[in-house]
A and B are shown apart, each in its own frame.
Chain A
């Protein structure tokens, strides 16, 4: 319908893709974008459309690119259950409390579930350690870094 060769269209699409992904990746400002495409010598109207295309799709492209980064399994959710062991083959008449958990993780679109167990003392230790971890983001040190890195 456009009456142009297949090769030209392919190059056009590739060029456009490259332009948009690079710009989104670097998160360049409007002015930088306009300056960059100015050298291509297109008409003002075309430049305006390209800029609009960039701004409209930037967020989505960035979130897709974000999925490509190297990743460790990430937390999905946790189920827990309180158990008390009353007897075993080697010992009768026990009272042994334990917390059984199912940890759901995501790894590259696969969900894995791992069953783990811990005793009450370790559970309290885990809570204390992880609360400390959460508190770190609120310290002056971290706040300063976040502020200065924008």
Chain B
């Protein structure tokens, strides 16, 4: 904003105040999920004229969804799983034991941290029975999600 040629005639301090005020107003409106009438009323109380209020509200409406998504994504949460990769192997022998002949799965859960954006993935091995157990439990979770949405 400080580099904008249209605004170079205005005192930079005033500009900063305006910017801060506008930003605060927008964020507060977004946080409270205020509708247009509430915003208009608030701006009227601040003695803004009709034309300016209308302009502000039109711009706000245009960006409302993006604003809500942005605000909703701020905040802490446990590590978030984004994807899974798996590998199936058949073990034949190791240096301690020959002729093992066991299938085993290696599962990696790709994980994202809301703050730093990266985190070592969670990897583990499991037998077929264990993987069946895991999938069974995930399916239970999905089923109860479905039931919850129908309530």
* Cβ A90 vs Cβ B75 within 8 A: yes
Judge if B135 is at the interface, Cβ distance under 8 Å: yes
Distance in Å: Cβ of B35 to nearest Cβ of chain A = 11
Q: Which residue of A lies closest to B69 (CB)?
A: A91
* B80 surroundings in chain A (CB, below 8 A): 116-119
Task: Please tell me which one of the listed residues A77, A82, A96, A125 contacts residue B145 in the complex, with CB atoms under 8 A apart.
Answer: A82
Known contacts being A75-B134, A82-B148, A149-B101, is A68 close to B96, with CB within 8 Å? yes
Q: Mark A106-121, 1 if CB is under 8 A from B, else 0.
A: 0000000011111110
B72 at the interface (CB under 8 A from A): yes
A82-B130 in contact (CB<8A) = no
Chain B residues with a Cβ closer than 8 Å to the other chain, count: 58
- B116 within 8 Å of A (CB atoms): no
Contacts of A2 in B (CB 8 A): none
Q: What is the CB-to-nearest-CB distance from B28 to chain A, in angstroms, rounded to a whole number?
A: 11
The 0/1 profile, CB within 8 Å of A marked 1, for residues 130-151 of chain B is: 1111110111111011001100
**Which of B85, B98, B124 meets A26, CB within 8 Å?**
B98
Inter-subunit contact A99/B145 (CB<8 Å): yes
Residue of chain A at shortest CB distance from B146: A120
Q: Which residue of A lies closest to B88 (CB)?
A: A136
Are A126 and B138 in contact, with the CB atoms below 8 A?
A: yes
A145 & B90 in contact (Cβ 8 Å cutoff): yes
Cβ of B58 under 8 Å from chain A: no
Q: Which A residues are in CB contact (< 8 Å) with B128?
A: 134, 137
The interface size bin for chain A is 35 or more
Contacting residues of chain A (74-101) with chain B, CB-CB under 8 angstroms: 74-75, 77-78, 80, 82, 88-94, 96-101
- Chain A, 125-137, contact with B by CB distance < 8 Å: what is the 0/1 string? 1110111011011
Footprint of B on A, CB under 8 Å? 25-27, 62, 65-66, 68-75, 77-78, 80, 82, 88-94, 96-101, 103, 105, 114-120, 122-127, 129-131, 133-134, 136-137, 142, 145-146, 149-150
- 12 cross-chain CB contacts under 8 A: A27-B98, A75-B124, A75-B134, A88-B75, A90-B72, A91-B31, A127-B138, A127-B142, A129-B86, A130-B84, A137-B128, A142-B90
Hey, which bits of chain B sit against chain A, CB under 8 A? 30-33, 68, 71-72, 74-75, 77-86, 88, 90, 92, 94-101, 103, 105-107, 109, 111, 122-126, 128, 130-135, 137-142, 144-145, 148-149
- Interface contacts beyond A74-B130, A91-B31: sample of 4 additional A-B pairs, CB < 8 Å, sorted by A: A78-B137, A105-B124, A131-B135, A133-B105
